Structure 1
């Protein structure tokens, strides 16, 4: 019966062999590997494997960003959601003077800009997400807060989310996520 240490050693050997094959294939096709940008990430192991390319030991990381998406060793979407929310909030702030505060633009135009510039950033790659209900609620809070601000409705006005969404002419976050998954 193998011990946990045997499994980790087997894993490390297999990973090193895979990386070596990758390096050899890259060399055959005259492709260069950036050692400074190459790192490894693993799950469910206590001891970090020592993987090398030539004489360079690869750094072990808990998360990395690839194509604007954050991937973590725990496979949690929380880091990705925080990044997406920050990007969407930045887009909202940058559009404040030109769009949101512009009295010459109609509400319909502002909602189209919101969908194109803010929602697209907030929900980038959401088709592949498997969200928990608390994560969907977090996205909905951001969505509703943005809608209320743009419509100048404070929470003290006691206007329901259904009314806010109907005035804005856009669906709820839950409907948007469902639509994106089905697409």
Structure 2
């Protein structure tokens, strides 16, 4: 995994011919991915979608004078962006679909201020065959550009269903 906040280029995706091929790939490094900007418009849209309009997210003037020096993204907004941030890190051929099983662990380590760029990096931590496909666990980190501390760390579980 890359160091949190590093500014290097995105890595190509880890590519596998089939879900079964991922079983032997435990320990494979994923990413880092492309940088993604979390702007105030996205924060406001997420506040509207979730009815979470706390001032630290949406009141720019008050948030600028507040404890973070700027509005911050909702932790759940950053978590929800894992689909956009982490999915491109892994290419699996012969796949009918991926099913989100959820998370074993999620920790929000540092707030993401409006206008910050984030990206995902991680590893394939576990992979096992099931009756319907291959269930994988990815240990993921969402890095904040220019920061030594990540925004979040998570263990994401996904079922890879073969075509």
TM range (shorter): under 0.3
Higher share in strand: 2
TM-score (norm. length: structure 2):
0.26
Give the number of the structure with larger relative contact order, counting CA–CA contacts within 8 Å between residues 6 or more apart: 2
